Amino acid sequence: MHRLIEIAPAKLNLGLKVLRRREDGYHEIVSVLQTVDLCDRLAFKSAATGETLVHCDHPDVPAGPENLVFRAVEVLRLETGDNRGVRVDLDKRIPAGAGLGGGSSNAAATLRTLDRLWGLRLGPERLSGLAAELGSDVPFFLTGGTAVVTGRGERIRPVDWEDEFWYVLVYPRFPVSTAWAYQNVRIGLTETEAYGTFLDFAEKSGRICADRLFACLENDFLPVVEAAGKGVTRILAALAAGGAVACSVSGSGSTLFGVFREARQASAAVVRVRGPGRRVYLCRYRPRRQACFNRLSTDIGKG
């Protein structure tokens, strides 16, 4: 069998509010998720019967059951009884522990591809159910685009997005554990209700005015990431000084981003935020399920 290639895009949280801790141990949230054209690439090929092989070009990414790609294959096997083997080669571009959803996107790409490759024809509802077993963000990545997400992240309301912006993503020199971030977030820390009110309207109407969104952008994890130090405040200040209409952190961190109206400003900001050990990416919106790869990325000062 020839290799089958699938693209797994990163996501940005364009704001994130933590509303409360649920009885099941998860947290109730509200956020806007949007896929961008910073992507991992996965290559699928048949392997020996019942064998799952995951190989990644990044040494810090596990290859066994800790990997969400591996777990996605096992979930499909349990659901369908299919015992075919598969080898997955993962070309990793999205940094881990960055709040960009790389592992979740890889898992969704695996579900989509094997459903097609193995002729399972599970349909959107069953695939979404399996995705939710793997993680809160995984169902969103089955289609991507722009959506208001609620619950623990599994309730997805796609919304229209017609605006053109450039995003400068800055991954500093440290990852952030999601579990650690939720242990340290102060629920209700920010007092304004503008973001939640705006998203309530967006969810009901199915559309978003980007200017209004960026005017009220909030992420409850930003104080947590800023407290971790590592130059976070300086990076945000540099993005703002470069003309960003909004700056924040994606997910629970640690990737910071600035939103720019013009490519010229965004390109200049890439230079402005360079620093030892930082990875900087210039990205744009990636619509629902439209194949693409990174428009431009810069990997600056490794180590």
pLDDT above 90: percentage of residues in the chain: 72
Query: What pLDDT is attached to residue 192?
Result: 61
* Among 40, 115, 137, 220, the one annotated catalytic: 137
The residues, any chain, with a CB within 8 Å of residue 46's CB and separated by 6 or more, are: 1, 84, 85, 86, 87
Q: Does residue 291 carry a pLDDT above 50?
A: no
Query: What pLDDT is attached to residue 131?
Result: 96
Beta bridge partners of 16: 31, 219
11 in catalytic set: yes
- pTM for the model stands at 0.91
* Among 11, 37, 92, 115, the one annotated catalytic: 11
Closest CA to 42 of 92, 112, 76, 86: 92
Query: Rounded to an integer, what distance in angstroms lies between the CA atom of residue 18 and that of residue 221?
Result: 9
92 in catalytic set: no
Q: Does residue 300 carry a pLDDT above 60?
A: no
